[in-house]
Chain A
Amino acid sequence: MKRFRGIGAIALAGVAALALAGCQQGSASGGGGEGDGPITLEFQSLSDQPTTQAAVKEIVDQWNTDNPDVQVSIVQGGWDGAYDKLITQFTGGTAPDIIHFEASSIVSFAQDGYLADLNDLVAPDLKSDISQGIWDSVTQDGKIIAYPSTLQSYMVFANADLLAQAGVEVPSGDSMTWDQFEEIAKATTTPEHYGVGWGLKSPTATVMSMALGFDGGFFEGGGADASIDVGDGELAVPGRIHDMAYADKSIDPTSLTQSGSDVLASFYGGKVAMTVQGSFQATNMAKDAPEGLNWVALPPIAGTAGAVQAANPQTYSINVDSPHVQESADFLNFFMSGDNLAKIAYADALIPSSGEARAAVEKLAGDDQAWKQVLASGEGLEGPPFLKVSKYQEWKDTVATPALQQYLADQISKDQLATQLTDGWADVNG
């Protein structure tokens, strides 16, 4: 009996050890870095548009040819569920060496200590070529946690034929005020179609970004001591969207519960005259828009504080547990060089962070109408206060998103929205 118990215990321990060993395999930089052979860096890229994937692959292939000792292998991911994937990878110790993500979401991984400090690793030329405001958006407690690569702005795309039908001229100026936008929306709303389709299934990012146009910063201070202030400036954007949907009836209320790409289908089908989308959709439109759809990009929307939006760049970070932090930084310095970054930004219809890359993109873009507006909207990008706030991600997912969804579905009043956002912050940060 005793002997058998002993055997059982040994067998149990053996199985447990095997299982644990299994979990350990495939940690950062799976390609053996111990020997003399070339080291392999895992690069998890989220770029999911085919043209961008091709651009990333081209750059990586170039690097691999030039550097036989440091090979980079691309692990293709997607934006959907990227956060969940990364948190599992980091916790399980299987995160890749180089991590592609975006500033507002990568912050929490920096707080948890998973990202390498890049202060001494970023190439000096690159550092001085990117504005301090953008560096601020990827700086956490004095540490640079990521290379900021490309930035997205929200743009209005319009069906020029439907605008002409309604007798509206395509606005030209440097920017377009919210009032102008609302008027065009009203003018183009007919019994057959709405003026605007706006995919606000996840409304927080859009609202937080565009609120800067009304000086609506939401947060004061940073870290764990940040305080929230929801006033007129903060409520201006959701308030205007709400009134357009329910007072003017110029926004399709169904679209407010859909994703951006769902609404794009309505735009292609001529069911809405305008749609507000991330600038990257310009690439998709150029590729997918049905023959004969005469689409144009309108000037950036300006609030009382100008055409300001949040700079929330895409980022490339390095896993602090990677055995090859230096090599990863070398690769990223190459990856972020002017021409390479320009290729990626151009493929994605996003605004590159560095001056050199922006000049290169301007050259690539030439006279393209949509690109002119994309670059114009890039002028107004500012580092938003929320990137400094420790519990922003938590507040966004559990408080702001449901509260804004309720308000945009006309379920609660503006005052209730303000109360929910403020009290929710007290709950989350308390």
Chain B
Amino acid sequence: MTVIDTPAAPTPSKKPAKRIGARVRAQRKEAIALVIPALLPIIVFSAIPLISGVALGFTDATLARNAETNFVGLDNFVALGGDTRFWGSFGIGLVWAGSVAGLTLISAMGLALLLNSDLKLKSLTRILALIPWAMPPVVIAIVWRMIYNPNSGPLNGTLEFFGIPGVNWLGDFSTALPAVIVVGVWSGIPQTTVLLLAGMQSIAPEQHEAAAVDGAGAVRRFWHVTLPALRPVIIAVTALDFIWQFNSFGLIYVLTEGGPGGQTMIPPLFTYLEAFRNREIGYASAMGNVLVLAILVILSVYLVNQFRQNRKVRA
């Protein structure tokens, strides 16, 4: 739409305005005609489902045959407020998304620094680092379920080789969530690494040289040159990781199905159960709405905080 606005801006006097106006109108028509084909799929496949999903949250819709759907106002949200199981799941979701986003950033930073340094076979290692990205979440989950298998998995096999008793990784209450988080981090690293690597390569080498001449070691150069330059990338990547992980479904569904005893029941799984096991699609949509709002709130707090700091730095 910005394309349309720009030529409309210079309208100094009334008389020429009409002439230019005709041209502008023609240009607008052209622009609209060009935009509509691109916009249609977005409206049909994104906007309409999104709006109907939000609207469902205010109804008592179920999946029954020819079910009557009534508008129930905020009833679903009131009921949700007192639903301790949902909020328990919400807490697990925050732990999951927060730790995956945080740990992914740390590991990806290490990997990106490694790939950015002048190693031999640089192109090969860069391609290798991307492999988890090329795997669908379900495949990743199945592979890791095999790795974690308490009886025949290679992880326990290695531990037992060194005389350490094996652990029932995905079945034990204390290890299930950490084990799942490790898989989340593993699958998230490549994407974050690539973005951080791109950010690092955009830092002018002169800055590093200057710092080195001033006597800064590798650690100080990382802390005072690389990190500040990467800051916008880090903020964007972590925020995106957090949203993606908070909404991730396939990985945990295949790994644990929310078990054992609900230890890994993240909100999307919980919502899925409500929608398709209990067939309460209205209530489940209300949960979805709450999740979207929660993510918006968490992110806005984070972003506002960042902007404020940026302004302070500039001032």
Contacts and interface: CB of A to CB of B under 8 A. Distances in A.
Interface in B50-84: 62-67
A402 interface: yes
A397 B29 contact: no
B168 to A, nearest CB: 5
Nearest to B48: A16
Contacts of B15: none
Interface in B222-280: 259-262, 265, 273, 276-279
Interface centre among B64, B65, B66, B67 (most CB of A within 10 A): B65
Contacts of A257: 150, 168, 170-172, 259-260
A191 B32 CA distance: 77
Given A87-B276, A398-B85, A11 B36 contact: yes
Contacts of A414: none
Contacts of B218: none
B279 A1 contact: no
Given A403-B261, A406-B173, A320 B279 contact: no
B260 A405 contact: yes
Contacts of B36: 7-8, 11
B171 A254 contact: yes
A19 B67 CA distance: 22
A320 B40 contact: no
Interface residues on B, range: 35 or more
A152 to B, nearest CB: 22
Nearest to B35: A8
Contacts of A7: 36
Interface residues of A, number: 44
Nearest to B62: A112
Q: Is the interface of B mostly helix, strand, loop or mixed?
A: loop
Interface stretch (A132-140, A224-232, A258-266, A309-317): A258-266
A16 B48 CA distance: 10
Interface string B160-175: 0000000010111100
B23 interface: no
A409 B174 CA distance: 11
Contact of B277 (A271, A394, A405): A394
B69 to A, nearest CB: 13
B260 A19 contact: no
A258 B171 contact: yes
Contacts of B170: 257
Contact of B150 (A19, A108, A254, A406): A254
A112 B63 contact: yes
A118 B67 CA distance: 22
Interface of B: 25, 28-29, 32-33, 36, 40, 43-44, 48, 62-67, 85, 149-152, 168, 170-173, 259-262, 265, 273, 276-279
13 contacts: A7-B36, A11-B40, A15-B40, A83-B277, A87-B276, A201-B171, A254-B150, A254-B151, A257-B170, A257-B259, A266-B151, A402-B265, A409-B261
Closest 9 CB pairs of A and B: A257-B171, A112-B64, A406-B261, A113-B65, A405-B261, A402-B262, A402-B261, A394-B278, A254-B150
Given A394-B277, A403-B261, 13 more contacts: A12-B40, A112-B65, A201-B171, A254-B151, A257-B150, A257-B172, A265-B151, A397-B277, A405-B259, A406-B260, A409-B171, A411-B173, A411-B261
